[in-house]
């Protein structure tokens, strides 16, 4: 595997970092902020159920479907170009969303924005992975986690204030303006790409995007159409068949979009599974709990945003703490396992404390626990996973990591939203009413009764999440354990050097060793 030539590496890494961080601030802010606007969007455009949930789910779906493609395109055409193009597409979609006359146009615009987000997230991660090495890379990705956390943290509050004062359209317009700034800033970045330019795997890209799209569409329809409905079974079976076809195509491709060898790397996949599990623990609460607060508790959009700040505020500082602990020798797998257990505890505690009218003081402990868990994994997963692949594969690996993470978010959103509708329907007996309740439309003489049914649905869903996280914590900890036949590498800070990784000699190792990827891991797992 050939190393990346210094000539195409970032010449101004600090400026590059600043521009990438701007994207990682804006996009999470837009994602978390949109959830606050869902009840008002539903009332304004007369939407509920799957069509309203698609405002968020459609964004995540296309972001996850195109993430892997974007990573490979970055290796081929240049990571800066993919980052800049993604920001431009996101901006165009968000501008259309701000003027959408009905829910169908809004859903289409958010779907387009998700495609742009894929370019920014995959391109940004690959850019930083090639611009920084060793402890510097760990610090950079911890900073990315902190900045993304800030975006997630302030998104509901900022959007709640904008929605309350000016309406949901203004909130989208503000994020579109931020997108214009990001696109303009990309002209100051240096370009990087793989030395051996791969060919675009068109067959793999088409089958992967179609497969994920069909599966996600089927899941979003399940809550209202019924899980045995042809509207659900047909796309679901079609999507699963295309996934099998995608694997076959990638095995036969000379230059596949996804090197299946990555999936056989146990420790790399351990970080992937960890990222997926963290998404399971926080995404449902992040996206749908503001609707519960506004519907069952009667809070305004601004007040709901303030309550959610208890969950999002920990990510201001926790990612940096995690990065420092890793650089001081704390095994990263222990931190990830701790994060999963904290998230499980937070979800379980929320089951016990949740009831209609529950105030901020009652909700504080579980929301903070979930927030700390999410913050602890931010940056940690990216830095450790990227340290286990070669430079030529960082675009593909970053795309795979972000694809599975975003895909997990999409799947959690679809399943969580459909589960809420299904669970409410089992109590009220009416699919249309259940969809309205899940959309926060509880006003009327039956408010107290419907709020109780909505709470029941939340308690069941959160119980399943907590159990899943407890199992995932054990599984991930084992996947990340060092191989028994080879001890873990000692924690030696790796400094950037100009020589190829294969020729580096690590002090204290006692022998010279050829590495298949980066010369040293950030820290022993």
The mean pLDDT of 517-525, rounded to a whole number, is 34
* Contacts with 345 (C-beta within 8 Å, 6 or more apart), sequence order: 369, 466
Domain boundaries, position 225: 202-256
User: Do 227 and 293 have their domain in common?
Assistant: no
Within-domain flag for 120: yes
CATH code at position 448: 1.20.1250.20
The pLDDT confidence band at residue 192, using thresholds 50, 70 and 90, is low
How much is the pLDDT for 315? 75
Task: Judge residue 311's burial from the number of C-beta atoms within 10 Å of its C-beta, 0-12 exposed, 13-18 middle, 19 or more buried.
Answer: buried
How much is the pLDDT for 66? 80
Per-residue pLDDT tens for 355-414? 998 988 999 999 999 989 988 887 677 777 777 766 666 666 766 776 677 667 777 777
How much is the pLDDT for 463? 95
Within-domain flag for 439: yes
Per-residue pLDDT tens for 218-232? 877 766 667 778 888
36-50, 87-101, 180-194, 251-265: range with highest mean pLDDT? 87-101
For residues 170 and 219, what is the distance between their CA atoms, to the nearest angstrom? 31
Residues in the chain: 525
For residues 103 and 120, what is the distance between their CA atoms, to the nearest angstrom? 26
Does the pLDDT at position 524 exceed 50?
no
| Among 465, 449, 461, 475, residue whose Cα is nearest residue 337 | 475
CA quadruple 146, 151, 155, 161: dihedral positive or negative? positive
67-71, 302-306, 445-449, 464-468: range with highest mean pLDDT? 464-468
The mean pLDDT of 458-463, rounded to a whole number, is 94
User: Do 178 and 224 have their domain in common?
Assistant: no
| Contact yes or no for 281/473 (Cβ under 8 A) | no
Averaged pLDDT score across all residues of the chain? 78
User: Do 410 and 429 have their domain in common?
Assistant: yes
Does the pLDDT at position 197 exceed 70?
no
User: Do 245 and 187 have their domain in common?
Assistant: no
For residues 56 and 287, what is the distance between their CA atoms, to the nearest angstrom? 8
C-alpha separations of 448 from 37, 42, 350, 355 in Å:
23, 21, 20, 11
User: Do 80 and 229 have their domain in common?
Assistant: no
User: Do 162 and 247 have their domain in common?
Assistant: no
How much is the pLDDT for 249? 87
* Contacts with 377 (C-beta within 8 Å, 6 or more apart), sequence order: 145, 274, 275, 278, 322, 335, 336, 339
Domain count, the chain: 2
CB atoms within 10 A of CB 525: 24
How much is the pLDDT for 98? 92
How much is the pLDDT for 159? 80
For residues 158 and 384, what is the distance between their CA atoms, to the nearest angstrom? 32
User: Do 315 and 434 have their domain in common?
Assistant: yes
How much is the pLDDT for 403? 67
Within-domain flag for 3: no
Within-domain flag for 408: yes
12-16, 204-208, 519-523: range with highest mean pLDDT? 204-208
| Among 411, 199, 194, residue whose Cα is nearest residue 284 | 411
How much is the pLDDT for 507? 40
User: Do 38 and 88 have their domain in common?
Assistant: yes
User: Do 157 and 219 have their domain in common?
Assistant: no
For residue 298 the two structure tokens come to: 């009667």
For residues 356 and 176, what is the distance between their CA atoms, to the nearest angstrom? 36
Angle CA 179–182–187, to nearest 5: 140
CB atoms within 10 A of CB 501: 19
């Amino acid at each position: 595997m050939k190393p990346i030539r210094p000539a195409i590496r970032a010449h101004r890494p600090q400026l590059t970092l600043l521009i990438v961080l701007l994207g990682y601030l804006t996009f999470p802010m837009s994602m978390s902020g949109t959830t606050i606007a869902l009840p008002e969007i539903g009332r304004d455009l007369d939407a509920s159920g799957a069509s309203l949930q698609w405002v968020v789910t459609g964004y995540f779906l296309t972001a996850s479907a195109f993430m892997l493609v974007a990573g490979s395109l970055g290796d081929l055409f240049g990571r800066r170009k993919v980052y800049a193009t993604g920001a431009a597409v996101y901006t165009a979609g968000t501008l259309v969303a701000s003027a959408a006359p009905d829910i169908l146009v809004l859903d289409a615009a958010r779907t387009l924005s998700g495609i742009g987000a894929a370019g920014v997230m995959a391109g940004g991660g690959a850019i930083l992975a090639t611009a920084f090495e060793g402890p510097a890379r760990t610090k950079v990705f911890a900073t990315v986690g902190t900045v993304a956390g800030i975006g997630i943290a302030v998104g509901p509050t900022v959007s709640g204030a904008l929605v309350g004062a000016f309406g949901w359209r203004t909130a989208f317009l503000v994020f579109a303006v931020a997108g214009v700034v990001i696109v303009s800033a990309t002209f100051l970045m240096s370009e990087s790409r793989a030395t051996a330019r791969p060919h675009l795997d068109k067959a793999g890209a088409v089958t992967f995007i179609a497969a994920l799209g069909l599966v996600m569409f089927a899941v979003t329809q399940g809550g209202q159409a019924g899980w045995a409905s042809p509207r659900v079974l047909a796309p679901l079976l079609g999507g699963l068949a295309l996934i099998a076809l995608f694997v076959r195509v990638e095995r036969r491709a000379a230059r596949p979009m996804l090197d299946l060898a990555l999936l056989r790397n146990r420790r790399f996949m351990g970080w992937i599974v960890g990222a997926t599990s963290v998404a399971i623990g926080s995404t449902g609460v992040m996206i749908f709990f503001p609707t519960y607060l506004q519907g069952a508790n009667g809070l305004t959009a601004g007040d709901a945003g303030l309550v959610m700040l208890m969950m999002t505020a920990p990510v201001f500082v926790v990612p940096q703490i995690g990065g420092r602990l890793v650089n001081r020798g704390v095994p990263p797998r222990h931190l990830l396992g701790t994060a999963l257990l904290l998230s499980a505890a937070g979800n379980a505690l929320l089951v016990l404390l949740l009831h209609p009218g529950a105030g901020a003081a009652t909700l504080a402990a579980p929301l903070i626990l979930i927030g700390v868990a999410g913050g602890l994994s931010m940056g940690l997963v990216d830095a450790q996973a990227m340290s286990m692949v070669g430079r030529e594969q960082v675009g593909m690996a970053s795309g795979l990591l972000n694809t599975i993470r975003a895909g997990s978010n999409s799947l959690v959103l679809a399943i969580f939203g459909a589960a809420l509708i299904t669970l409410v329907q089992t109590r009220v007996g009416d699919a249309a009413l259940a969809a309205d309740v899940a959309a926060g439309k509880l006003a009327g003489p039956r408010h107290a009764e419907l709020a109780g049914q909505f709470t029941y649905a939340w308690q069941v869903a959160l119980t399943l999440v907590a159990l899943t996280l407890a199992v995932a914590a054990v599984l991930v900890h084992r996947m990340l354990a060092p191989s028994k036949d080879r001890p873990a590498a000692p924690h030696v800070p790796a400094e950037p050097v100009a020589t190829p990784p294969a020729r580096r000699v690590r002090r204290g190792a006692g022998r010279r060793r050829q590495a298949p990827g980066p010369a040293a891991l950030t820290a022993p797992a």
